[in-house]
Amino acid sequence: MWLDTLLSALVKRKDVTQLTAVSNNAGAGDSGLGKLFNSKQIDKIIASYPGGNKAFEALYLKGEVSLELCPQGTLVERLRAHAAGIPAFFTPTGASTAVEEGSIPTRYNEGGFANGVKIPGIKKESREFGGRKYIMEPAIAGDVAFVRAWKVDEVGNCVFRYTQQNFSTVMAKNAKLTIVEADQIVPTGSLSPNAIHVPGIYVDRVVQATAPKQIEHVKLAPSPSSSGEQSTLSPEKEFAQKMRHRTAKRAAKELKDGFYVNLGIGIPTLIPAYVEPGVRVWLQSENGILGMGPYPTAEQVDPDLINAGKETVTLLPGASVFDSSESFAMIRGGHVDLSILGAMQVSQAGDIANFMIPGKLVKGIGGAMDLVSNPDQTKVIVVMEHCAKDGSPKILKECTLPLTGARTVSQIITELAVFDVDRKNGYLELVELQEGVTLKEVRAKTGCDFKVRSDLSKL
């Protein structure tokens, strides 16, 4: 949720520099924190998914700004912890990854990646509880919080609308000084006590929002007339799209009636179109939706209804909305039945890498580390192209990129095949071939050995 009223005012304060920003993302263009990166007022950001801002990415890779990359669920919990007077906590998210090891540089030397690391990452303490590894994360203390809300009364009670909640409730409670920009400022007593999301005790100042709400990705439901339109894609891109849909169609068979499911960006977003008739699933979005519906028509577009990929969405009957802390409690706690993600690499033991290429690409962790943090309770499925653009295998004996999770993936589905993963013993079993695909082709395009089920089936 952009805070362009307050941020536009802050940009005018040329005396305010060397800021440390805490945010799920880094803004984009001249919206959100993009304003402060463009004005060179931010020296460091603690964020989960900054990759949407290419200008920031370039600054980081050139050594001109610091980054503490933090899993999304951990970030919101670090904020909530300080607000509740808790100095630190243990979480399974990020265990046995670069987050625990502290191997993601906070800042490169001037000149960037090639000149080495100026400030190394922060190594985390780990402990075992109940046979599982957890890492200790410190609380984050804020000096000033900027928050946007729907309705705020004159004593500071806040009500959020739909996905406005996300990080807003914990941010408002965290800082020494909380300033809320409100869509509507209403008289004291006009809000129902049952509706209050943030009590006024946490709020210091309220201002009227004047900047219009921005929608980063307006995604519309396809119109009935568009189904018969001729494709304008090149033959290569049309074939690639067909293969992506093939993968999504197979993955949809894993969704059972009544399942609670989280779908990542990319191929996973194609899956709902292939859910079998009579199967009802509840889609969960990390930014605070349970019961997410399809993309809206042009008339249904609402800037307060977006998914974790910042695309416009709708709600199904029976849906609920909540803040990001609640959302990630559902995820880490294993209450979601199925998590389906894309990946850059997957190992034969079920390790997954999907968030960065050191020195080249800083997408960000987002909610992925949280989504794979409880694989015994939430089945993790990876859907992806079998090979990278250069033809190299993406299924490997060991991942070469920083891990999102270790031994977390239970199934891999590609346009060529379906593998089950034995996470305990560290091997793959080929269980299905896609139509027209041979075992010889799969062996040639897979970067590790695998077993073959005796009753290997074709789709």
Distance set, CA 332 to CA 326, 337, 339, 382, 392 (Å) = 10, 11, 11, 18, 33
Long-range CB contacts for residues 309-316, cutoff 8 Å, separation at least 24: 309/217, 309/265, 309/269, 310/52, 310/215, 310/216, 310/217, 311/217, 311/218, 311/219, 312/215, 312/217, 312/218, 312/219, 312/220, 313/219, 313/285, 313/289, 315/162, 315/289, 315/291, 316/282, 316/291, 316/292
Q: Residue 20 pairs with which residues in a beta bridge?
A: 44
Residue 226's contacts (CB-CB under 8 Å, 6 or more residues apart) are none
| CA–CA–CA angle 392, 395, 401 (5° rounding) | 80
What six digits make up the tokens of 328?
A: 């990630």
List the catalytic residue out of 100, 286, 385, 432: 286
- Are 149 and 139 within 8 A, CB to CB? no
Dist CA 344 CA 396 (whole Å): 11
Residues in Cβ contact with 409 at an 8 Å cutoff, skipping those fewer than 6 apart: 343, 346, 350, 351, 352, 372, 375, 380, 381, 382, 421, 423
Q: DSSP characters for 283-303?
A: EEETTTEEEE--PPPGGG--T
- Contact between 418 and 368 (Cβ < 8 Å): no
The rounded distance, in Å, linking the Cα atoms of 323 and 172 is: 12
Asked if 112 and 362 touch (Cβ cutoff 8 Å), the reply is no
- The 3-state secondary structure of 303-346 reads CCCECCCCEECCEEEEEEECCHHHHHHHHHCCCCCEEEECCCEE
Report the SS3 class of residue 57: helix
The number of C-alpha atoms within 13 Å of 150 and in the hemisphere containing its C-beta is 15
Has 286 been annotated as catalytic?
yes
Beta strand 126-129 pairing with 132-138: antiparallel
Known catalytic residues?
A: 286
